[in-house]
């Protein structure tokens, strides 16, 4: 199978405008993401609605494609980019990594790719939860899977509920899994899910992947040991720079 990486990146951000172009070391953030993904896929593209990001990618020798400014999610932006790229390039699977994940590991991309040795429609990563604080953090989505590691449900609540145990002991008596928000989709599946309407589960939890489950798509999961480091605010960038100085991200 042929795998391509698409990085949806927009300039406008409520908490951190222009973050794809923020410098980490001597490179813009988007370049870090691009180069790390490129280690594990056949082609890498940035999908953006902003000319500044487009030019920055071209300046470091990367490939970029312009997309509409009206997309509500990175998946929708990836779908448009994949349609345009597919006119001149052949591929089977699209790997979607957000433009604010500069320290993504090539190993994580390989895990996503491995999911397509089965009949997966979509693949994503999960990581074992080790602390009560993480388990009960609503900003850290959780997932339960079947015995084949297909996702059964995603939630901002701790799932499953552990009956008969104190909440502070849950992580010691039951394995819990956090969702790492990067995806891979079969080419044709990506186009189909981009046309789906928002469902009741997604509206309730504000988790896009529930729309796909609600419509019968299979989401295969793979376990990663690496913590995702997303940069949402200028404060996150300061922490990322510290990690880089301490050489603790690679």
Q: How far apart are CA 51 and CA 43, in angstroms?
A: 21
Instruction: Note the pTM of the prediction, 2 decimals.
Output: 0.92
pLDDT the model gives residue 13: 78
pLDDT the model gives residue 148: 95
β pairing state of 219-223 and 64-66: unpaired
How does DSSP assign 112-136, residue by residue? Answer: HHHGGGTT-SEEEEEEE---HHHHT
Summary count for the chain: helices (H), strands (E): 10, 11
CA distances to 132, 135, 141, 161 from 166, rounded to whole Å, are: 11, 13, 21, 11
Contact 118, 154 (CB under 8 A): no
Specify the DSSP class assigned to residue 233.
Answer: S
pLDDT the model gives residue 246: 74
10-residue block means of pLDDT along the chain (250 residues)? 96 85 92 96 97 97 96 94 96 94 93 93 97 95 97 98 97 96 96 96 96 97 88 85 70
**Which residues lie closer than 8 Å to 177 by C-beta, 6 or more apart?**
126, 127, 128, 129, 142, 143, 144, 145, 221, 223
């Amino acid at each position: 199978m042929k795998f391509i990486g698409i990085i949806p990146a927009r300039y406008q951000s409520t908490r951190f405008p222009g973050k794809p172009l923020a410098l980490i070391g001597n490179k813009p953030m988007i370049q870090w993401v691009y180069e790390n993904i490129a280690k594990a896929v056949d082609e890498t593209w940035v999908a953006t609605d902003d000319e500044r990001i487009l030019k920055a990618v071209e300046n470091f020798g990367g490939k970029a494609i312009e997309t509409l400014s009206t997309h509500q999610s990175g998946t929708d932006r990836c779908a448009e980019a994949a349609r345009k790229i597919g006119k001149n390039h052949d591929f089977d699977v699209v790997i979607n990594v957000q433009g604010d994940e500069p320290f993504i590991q090539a190993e994580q991309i390989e895990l996503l790719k491995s999911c397509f040795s089965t009949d997966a429609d979509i693949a994503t990563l999960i990581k074992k939860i080790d602390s009560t604080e993480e388990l009960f953090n609503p900003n850290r989505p959780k997932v339960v899977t079947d015995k084949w590691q297909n996702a059964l449900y995603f939630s901002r609540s701790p799932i499953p509920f552990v009956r008969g145990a104190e909440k502070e002991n849950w992580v010691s008596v039951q394995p819990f899994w956090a969702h790492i928000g990067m995806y891979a989709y079969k080419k044709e599946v990506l186009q189909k899910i981009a046309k789906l309407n928002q469902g009741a589960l997604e509206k309730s939890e504000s988790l896009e992947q529930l729309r796909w489950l609600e419509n019968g798509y299979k989401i295969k999961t793979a376990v990663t040991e690496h913590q995702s480091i997303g940069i949402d605010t200028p404060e996150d960038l300061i922490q990322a720079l510290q990690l880089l100085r301490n050489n603790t991200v690679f």
